[in-house]
Amino acid sequence: MLRFASAMALLPLLAACQMDSRQQVLGSANSQAAQRAISTRAFETADKAKVFQAALSALQDLGFVVDRADTVLGTISATRYGNGGLVRFTVTLRRGEGNRTIVRASGQMNQYELSDPAPFQRFFETLSQALFLQANAIE
Protein backbone atom coordinates (compact mmCIF):
# COMPACT_ATOMS: atom_id res chain seq x y z
CA MET A 1 0.00 0.00 0.00
CA LEU A 2 2.87 2.33 0.80
CA ARG A 3 4.43 1.72 -2.65
CA PHE A 4 1.12 2.51 -4.33
CA ALA A 5 0.81 5.77 -2.41
CA SER A 6 4.41 6.70 -3.28
CA ALA A 7 3.81 5.97 -6.97
CA MET A 8 0.64 8.06 -6.97
CA ALA A 9 2.50 10.96 -5.34
CA LEU A 10 5.17 10.89 -8.07
CA LEU A 11 2.70 10.75 -10.96
CA PRO A 12 2.07 14.55 -11.15
CA LEU A 13 5.82 15.18 -11.15
CA LEU A 14 6.32 12.89 -14.15
CA ALA A 15 3.52 14.59 -16.06
CA ALA A 16 5.14 17.97 -15.43
CA CYS A 17 8.34 16.76 -17.14
CA GLN A 18 6.62 16.13 -20.47
CA MET A 19 6.83 18.76 -23.19
CA ASP A 20 4.04 19.06 -25.72
CA SER A 21 4.60 20.09 -29.35
CA ARG A 22 3.41 23.65 -28.68
CA GLN A 23 6.06 24.09 -25.98
CA GLN A 24 8.69 22.69 -28.36
CA VAL A 25 7.80 25.22 -31.06
CA LEU A 26 7.78 28.12 -28.61
CA GLY A 27 11.08 26.93 -27.11
CA SER A 28 12.91 26.91 -30.46
CA ALA A 29 16.27 28.64 -30.61
CA ASN A 30 15.52 30.15 -34.05
CA SER A 31 12.68 32.26 -35.30
CA GLN A 32 10.25 30.49 -37.63
CA ALA A 33 11.66 32.33 -40.65
CA ALA A 34 15.24 31.44 -39.72
CA GLN A 35 14.30 27.79 -39.14
CA ARG A 36 12.50 27.66 -42.50
CA ALA A 37 15.59 29.08 -44.24
CA ILE A 38 17.76 26.40 -42.63
CA SER A 39 15.41 23.53 -43.38
CA THR A 40 14.03 24.26 -46.89
CA ARG A 41 15.60 23.95 -50.34
CA ALA A 42 14.24 24.15 -53.88
CA PHE A 43 15.51 21.78 -56.57
CA GLU A 44 15.23 22.53 -60.29
CA THR A 45 13.19 19.51 -61.31
CA ALA A 46 9.48 18.87 -61.64
CA ASP A 47 9.98 15.11 -61.16
CA LYS A 48 8.83 14.73 -57.56
CA ALA A 49 9.25 10.93 -57.72
CA LYS A 50 12.98 11.25 -58.49
CA VAL A 51 13.49 13.75 -55.68
CA PHE A 52 11.55 11.45 -53.34
CA GLN A 53 13.79 8.49 -54.25
CA ALA A 54 16.91 10.64 -53.84
CA ALA A 55 15.70 11.82 -50.40
CA LEU A 56 15.21 8.19 -49.33
CA SER A 57 18.74 7.38 -50.52
CA ALA A 58 20.19 10.44 -48.78
CA LEU A 59 18.63 9.54 -45.43
CA GLN A 60 19.86 5.96 -45.70
CA ASP A 61 23.35 7.17 -46.68
CA LEU A 62 23.36 9.29 -43.50
CA GLY A 63 22.61 6.23 -41.36
CA PHE A 64 18.87 6.72 -40.88
CA VAL A 65 16.34 3.90 -40.87
CA VAL A 66 13.24 4.88 -42.82
CA ASP A 67 10.16 4.39 -40.64
CA ARG A 68 7.52 5.63 -43.09
CA ALA A 69 7.55 6.75 -46.70
CA ASP A 70 4.43 7.96 -48.51
CA THR A 71 4.93 8.86 -52.17
CA VAL A 72 1.39 10.23 -52.55
CA LEU A 73 1.77 12.72 -49.68
CA GLY A 74 5.48 13.20 -50.35
CA THR A 75 6.58 12.53 -46.76
CA ILE A 76 9.41 10.48 -45.28
CA SER A 77 10.03 9.81 -41.58
CA ALA A 78 13.33 8.32 -40.47
CA THR A 79 15.18 7.57 -37.22
CA ARG A 80 18.85 7.25 -36.27
CA TYR A 81 20.40 6.24 -32.95
CA GLY A 82 23.74 7.54 -31.77
CA ASN A 83 25.71 10.74 -31.15
CA GLY A 84 23.93 11.54 -27.93
CA GLY A 85 20.53 10.02 -28.51
CA LEU A 86 17.63 9.45 -30.83
CA VAL A 87 17.40 11.63 -33.92
CA ARG A 88 14.13 11.78 -35.88
CA PHE A 89 14.02 13.40 -39.29
CA THR A 90 10.93 14.15 -41.37
CA VAL A 91 11.15 15.24 -45.00
CA THR A 92 8.26 16.74 -46.96
CA LEU A 93 8.25 17.31 -50.73
CA ARG A 94 5.90 19.52 -52.73
CA ARG A 95 5.73 21.05 -56.18
CA GLY A 96 7.02 24.56 -56.42
CA GLU A 97 6.63 27.19 -59.10
CA GLY A 98 7.68 26.20 -62.60
CA ASN A 99 9.96 23.17 -62.68
CA ARG A 100 10.81 23.18 -59.00
CA THR A 101 10.37 20.71 -56.20
CA ILE A 102 10.48 22.11 -52.66
CA VAL A 103 12.02 19.91 -49.97
CA ARG A 104 11.53 20.75 -46.32
CA ALA A 105 13.13 18.84 -43.47
CA SER A 106 12.50 18.93 -39.76
CA GLY A 107 14.28 17.11 -37.01
CA GLN A 108 14.26 16.29 -33.35
CA MET A 109 16.98 15.03 -31.06
CA ASN A 110 15.74 13.49 -27.82
CA GLN A 111 12.37 15.28 -28.07
CA TYR A 112 13.93 18.71 -28.79
CA GLU A 113 13.79 20.49 -32.13
CA LEU A 114 17.00 20.54 -34.17
CA SER A 115 17.88 24.19 -34.66
CA ASP A 116 21.55 23.72 -35.54
CA PRO A 117 21.97 24.16 -39.33
CA ALA A 118 24.70 21.47 -39.65
CA PRO A 119 22.42 18.38 -39.83
CA PHE A 120 20.23 20.08 -42.42
CA GLN A 121 23.26 21.10 -44.49
CA ARG A 122 24.55 17.50 -44.45
CA PHE A 123 21.15 16.20 -45.52
CA PHE A 124 20.77 18.70 -48.38
CA GLU A 125 24.36 18.14 -49.58
CA THR A 126 23.75 14.38 -49.62
CA LEU A 127 20.40 14.91 -51.39
CA SER A 128 22.07 17.10 -54.03
CA GLN A 129 24.70 14.43 -54.63
CA ALA A 130 22.02 11.72 -54.93
CA LEU A 131 20.12 13.84 -57.48
CA PHE A 132 23.34 14.43 -59.42
CA LEU A 133 24.11 10.70 -59.50
CA GLN A 134 20.53 9.96 -60.59
CA ALA A 135 20.59 12.56 -63.36
CA ASN A 136 23.85 11.17 -64.70
CA ALA A 137 22.75 7.53 -64.40
CA ILE A 138 25.56 6.67 -61.99
CA GLU A 139 24.75 3.73 -59.71
Nearest-5° Cα angle at 45, 42 to 47: 120
With a threshold of 0.85, does the pTM exceed it? no
Q: What is the pLDDT of residue 138?
A: 65
What's the distance, Cα to Cα, between the start and end of the chain in Å? 65
In this prediction, residue 136 carries a pLDDT of 82
Give the confidence band of 111 by pLDDT, cuts at 50, 70, 90: confident
Q: State the Cα–Cα distance between residues 130 and 57, nearest whole angstrom.
A: 7
pLDDT, tens digit, 9 for 90 and up, residues 77-91: 999 997 788 999 999
pLDDT at 18 over 90: no
Q: What is the predicted pLDDT for the residue at 62?
A: 94
pLDDT recorded at residue 29: 57
